[in-house]
Amino acid sequence: MSNEKISETAGKAERYLSFSLGEESFAIPLLDVREVIAITETTPIPFAPTHFLGIMNLRGQVISVIDLRKKLGIKPNQSTENAIIICNLQAVTIGMVVDSVDNVLHVQSVDVSEKPEIDGSKKTEFITGVYRQEKRLVLFLDIAKALSLDDQKAIAKATVDKKTA
With a CB cutoff of 8 Å and minimum separation 6, the contacts of 154 are: 45, 48, 49, 52, 64
Range of the domain at 19: 3-164
36 to each of 40, 41, 103, how far by Cα in Å?
12, 15, 12
What is the distance between the alpha carbons of residues 157 and 117, in angstroms, rounded to a whole number?
A: 34
Q: How confident is the model at residue 114 (pLDDT cuts 50, 70, 90)?
A: confident
Number of structural domains the chain divides into: 1
Please check the confidence at residue 96 and state whether its pLDDT lies above 90.
yes
Q: Residue 4's CB: how many other CB atoms inside 10 A?
A: 7
What does the pLDDT average to over 33-61?
92
pTM: 0.80
3-state helix, strand, coil in the chain (%, to 5): 25, 45, 30
Residue 8 has pLDDT above 50, yes or no: no
- pLDDT higher at 154 or 131: 131
Burial state string for 22-36 with b = 16 or more CB within 10 A and e = fewer than 16 = bebbbbbbeebbeee
Q: Which of 21-35, 63-77, 140-154 has the lowest mean pLDDT?
A: 140-154
Q: How far apart are CA 116 and CA 124, in angstroms?
A: 9
**Average pLDDT for 41-54:** 90
Asked if the model's pLDDT at residue 43 lies above 50, the reply is yes
Order the strands of the 24-29 sheet from edge to edge: 100-108, 13-21, 24-29, 136-141, 127-133, 112-113
Return the CATH number at 14: 2.40.50.180
Instruction: Compare 67 and 5 and report the one with higher pLDDT.
Output: 67
pLDDT at residue 164 in the model: 47
Distance CA 95, CA 101 (A): 13
| pLDDT over 50 at 47, yes or no | yes
pLDDT of residue 122: 58
Mean pLDDT for 14-33 is 94
With 90 as the cut, is the pLDDT of residue 125 above it? no
